[in-house]
Amino acid sequence: MELLDRLERQLGELDRAGLRRRLRVVDTPCAPHATVDGREMLAFCSNDYLGLASHPRIVEAMREGASRYGAGSGASHLISGHSRAHAELEERLAAFLAPHLEAPRALYFSTGYLANLALLATLAGRDADLFCEELNHASLIDGARLSRSNVRIYPHRDIAALERLLAASTAKDKVVVTDSVFSMDGNLAPLPELLALCERHGAWLIVDDAHGFGVLGEHGRGALEHFALQSPHLVYMGTLGKAAGVAGAFVAAHTTVIEWLLQRARTYIFTTAAPPAVAHALLAALDIIDSDEGLARRQRVQLHVERLAHELQPRRWQLMPSQTAIQPVIIGGNNETMQAAANLQERGLWVPGIRPPTVPAGTARLRITLSAAHTDDDLSRLIAAFRDVETA
């Protein structure tokens, strides 16, 4: 059939460009030591920064939640799927972020992707000017498209450029949106400067803290705590499948913003609520994040980050200057990057190669992610294998 032939040809082009992606099958829980495609591997690829994805207390809470509420929610939140567990989770999240927001309320979404679509489509309407950071996550790019607002891209971390765009804007609704931690670079957005600009120009600042919530800040409240920010202009999105170890995401903002989302967000209204057991497990995850154990786990991640910066020291390749658990090593070419990933894999190390379109052409990279679940020995193995592979 001609249609299939065309797809086969396009897939062949992906192969030739070194861009074909492939699934790997994992038999073990998310943890550094995993069985992948039947083989034991040491993994540096998950976003499970605190090592909570297979934490016994959270797994037990998931079980307890299933016993109490059953397997599925049965309907969307506004029909009948909004369980006591969902309601409690939203209250806990709003209270957790309360030091940084005015009159806070939180809304739980099934995924961060859906939360971002909802946020941009509901806060930035057709008449709005929407200012997007160049390296924003794909879900924000799609949300910007869905919003049908007037989208302006500003260069990476370029406050002066954004200021010019804001000053030139005559729109009533102005919205600035940025990742807090850039997911493929690991560096931070200049949130204090961005917030000051937004306050001056009467704009919302939407912060996607997918890689900050749980890990940044002394209490794990994320980027807003890290930078000690507090403002009614802030609209916060945190994900719960990364450092929190379970699934889903939430938006926390002024109660009026949340009420508007609840009335208008199509990705909230027209989708089945996540299983209540997931929300119940997340209550246990929040207990841990906001405890001494959580603090100790955050400190472990930070020690790993500092050790890697000191000891990895690639020669031909380039370790990006990142203070977070995301530690990318730029190689450049797609095929060379995938070859390096394959060479690490041969040595039993699982470090993903990241290629365009996820990152700009010519900046393909290995993306190391560190977790509190890694041991010092795990890091030693990574550093030694890296030396080997770079000089091979």
Ligand X SMILES: *Cc1c(COP(=O)(O)O)cnc(C)c1O
Interaction between residue 210 and ligand X (CB under 6 A):
yes
Minimum distance from CB of 274 to ligand X (Å)? 11
Which range binds ligand X by CB under 6 A, 91-99, 125-133, 208-216, 369-377? 208-216
Closest to ligand X by CB, 173 or 179: 179
- Secondary structure of residue 90 in the 3-state scheme: helix
Which residue, 139 or 345, has its beta carbon nearer to ligand X? Answer: 139
Q: How far is the CB of 181 from ligand X (least distance, A)?
A: 8
Of 237 and 312, nearer to ligand X (C-beta) is 237
Q: Is 132 in the site for ligand X (CB under 6 A)?
A: no
The length of the chain, given as a count of residues:
392
Q: Contacting ligand X (CB under 6 A), which of 49, 96, 108, 113?
A: 113
Shortest distance, position 207 Cβ to ligand X, whole Å: 10
Alpha carbons within 13 angstroms on the beta-carbon side of residue 38 total 0
Select from 74-82, 206-214, 317-325, 336-344 the region that touches ligand X (CB under 6 A). 206-214
Q: At what angle do helices 292-311 and 276-289 cross, to 10 degrees?
A: 70
- What is the side-by-side order of every strand in the sheet holding 349-350? 33-36, 39-43, 349-350
Phi, psi at residue 20, to the nearest 5°? -75, 130
Is 366 near ligand X (CB under 6 A)? no
Q: Based on the shown chain and the rule CB under 6 A, indicate whether residue 139 belongs to the binding site for ligand X.
A: yes
CB of 130 to ligand X, least distance (A): 16
Taking the least distance from each CB to ligand X, the nearer of 6 and 24 is: 24
Peptide bond into 29 cis (omega under 30): no
One of 208, 213, 221, 353 touching ligand X (CB under 6 A): 208
CA 47 – CA 55 distance, rounded (Å): 14
From 53-61, 107-115, 333-341, 359-367, give the range in contact with ligand X by CB under 6 A.
Answer: 107-115
Q: Which of 73, 147, 169, 183 binds ligand X (CB under 6 A)?
A: 183
Q: Which one of residues 137, 157, 174, 355 is an interface residue with ligand X (CB under 6 A)?
A: 137
Residue in 90, 173, 179, 185 binding ligand X, rule: CB under 6 A: 179
- One residue of 32, 51, 81, 112 binding ligand X per CB under 6 A: 112
Residue 116 sits in the site that holds ligand X (CB under 6 A): yes
Give the 3-state secondary structure of 160-222. HHHHHHHHHCCCCCEEEEEECECCCCCCECCHHHHHHHHHHHCEEEEEECCCCCCCCCCCCCC
Q: Considering the rule CB under 6 A, would residue 129 count as an interface residue with ligand X?
A: no
Closer by beta carbon to ligand X, 128 or else 177:
177
Q: Which is nearer to ligand X, 368 or 385 (CB)?
A: 368
Minimal distance, residue 116 CB to ligand X, in Å? 6
Cα dihedral: 41, 371, 92, 193 (round 10): -130
Distance in Å, CB of 141 to ligand X, minimum:
10
User: Can you point out the beta strands (E) in the chain?
Assistant: 33-36, 39-43, 104-109, 129-133, 150-154, 174-179, 203-208, 234-239, 249-254, 318-319, 326-332, 349-350, 353-354, 364-369
Chain centroid to CA 224:
15
- Considering only 147, 149, 178, 239, the residue that binds ligand X (CB under 6 A) is 239
Torsion of CA 391, 307, 247, 276, to 10 degrees: 150
**Closer of 239 and 363 to ligand X (Cβ):** 239
120: contact with ligand X by CB under 6 A: no
Please write down the HEC assignment for all residues of 125-159: CCCCEEEEECCCCHHHHHHHHHHCCEEEEECCCCH
Query: How many other CB atoms are found less than 10 A from the CB of residue 111?
Result: 18
Residue for token digits 């039993």?
348
Q: What are the structure tokens assigned to 272, written together?
A: 């089945």
Interacting residues toward ligand X by CB under 6 A? 111-113, 116, 137, 139, 179, 183, 208, 210-211, 239, 241, 249
